[in-house]
């Protein structure tokens, strides 16, 4: 009985580690994509109205990829684990944003970002769990 519980404990620890790594990967991927987008904004005539939608899409794609990678070896509960990747990502971003901007507030844009982060994580989790490669 103890071996089974030790195996389950080790599996849960590995799953938590994968979820955190997926969140960190998504954050780093977001930084790369935002850097590329900022270079595009600097050297082209892209309208500033496109910034918010592009940031939301970059966030969603990064979380989708991060959660897909993190749940690839978990093999179950892709929706839950992927959603956790999205939630950890967005919580970290909002804590960092609150520190930098000296305040925390929710706007329609913020709520849209939170929802898109969790949904993208869930979709990425489903993709990751069902990957055969």
pTM for the whole structure: 0.85
Whole-angstrom distance, CA of residue 78 vs CA of residue 98: 30
Question: For each of the chain's 133 residues, which pLDDT tens digit applies?
Answer: 456 577 777 777 888 888 999 999 999 999 999 999 999 999 998 888 888 889 889 999 999 999 999 888 777 888 999 999 999 999 999 888 888 887 777 888 888 889 989 999 999 999 998 886 6
Two tokens, residue 102: 């000296």
């Amino acid at each position: 009985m103890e071996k089974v519980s030790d195996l389950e404990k080790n599996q849960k620890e590995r799953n938590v580690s994968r979820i955190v790594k997926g969140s960190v990967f998504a954050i780093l991927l977001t930084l790369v994509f935002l850097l590329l987008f900022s270079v595009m904004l600097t050297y082209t005539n892209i309208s500033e109205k496109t910034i918010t939608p592009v940031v939301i899409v970059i966030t969603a794609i990064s979380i989708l990829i991060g959660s897909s990678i993190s749940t690839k070896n978990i093999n179950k509960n892709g929706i839950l684990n992927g959603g956790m990747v999205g939630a950890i990502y967005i919580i970290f971003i909002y804590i960092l944003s609150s520190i930098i901007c000296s305040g925390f507030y929710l706007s329609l844009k913020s709520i849209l970002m939170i929802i898109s982060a969790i949904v993208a994580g869930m979709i990425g989790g489903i993709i990751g769990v069902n990957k055969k490669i």
